[in-house]
Amino acid sequence: MGLKERRAISDFQNNKFPDLEKEVREAAGMDVPIEVDWVSLAIEGAAHHYEESFPEMYFKPLVAALKSITADEMGLNALKGSLKKIVIQNKAGISYSGKFATFSDGILTLDHKPTTNLQQAKDREDVLRVLLEDNL
């Protein structure tokens, strides 16, 4: 990771991530830990896209799916009883919405290239919602 990427990641962590983290926790209805593998998200030469791509790729679909799940008390209680942590990373090189999320042992993992197929946010939201509904 070059200097541009480190600076862009640091800027995102300090200026954007706290608000996004708060949105996720509010949507989940609990103080769920969020672990972001920032190094894996840093794509060489793409630092200028992070501010737009990280929220579109990971956070907006996650917040929307969580709001759908926690829309009633049954969903909120199911989520609180099952979700232990959220992990955001780019380790598997996934660029397809249908494969970007897994849920195992209480850990919801979002693994997708951060700058690929941003326009598929609704697809990612639907995948997350169905995954959670099927596993809670």
Q: Are 101 and 108 in contact (CB under 8 A)?
A: yes
Q: Which ranges constitute the DSSP H helices of 29-98? A: 38-41, 50-54, 60-69, 73-82
Q: Are 53 and 107 in contact (CB under 8 A)?
A: no
Left (φ > 0), alpha (ψ -120 to 50) or beta: where does 132 sit? alpha
- Label residue 4 exposed, middle or buried (CB < 10 Å: 0-12, 13-18, 19+): middle
If we measure between CA atoms, which residue out of 58, 108, 46, 56 comes closest to residue 83? 108
Question: How confident is the model at residue 51, as a pLDDT?
Answer: 93
* pTM, full prediction: 0.95
Q: What is the pLDDT along the chain (136 residues), one digit of tens a residue?
A: 889 999 999 999 999 999 999 999 999 999 999 999 999 999 888 989 999 999 999 999 999 999 999 999 999 999 999 999 999 999 998 999 999 999 999 999 999 999 999 899 999 999 999 999 999 9
Question: How confident is the model at residue 1, as a pLDDT?
Answer: 81
Cα 8 to Cα 134: distance, rounded to the nearest angstrom = 36
Cα 11 to Cα 51: distance, rounded to the nearest angstrom = 9
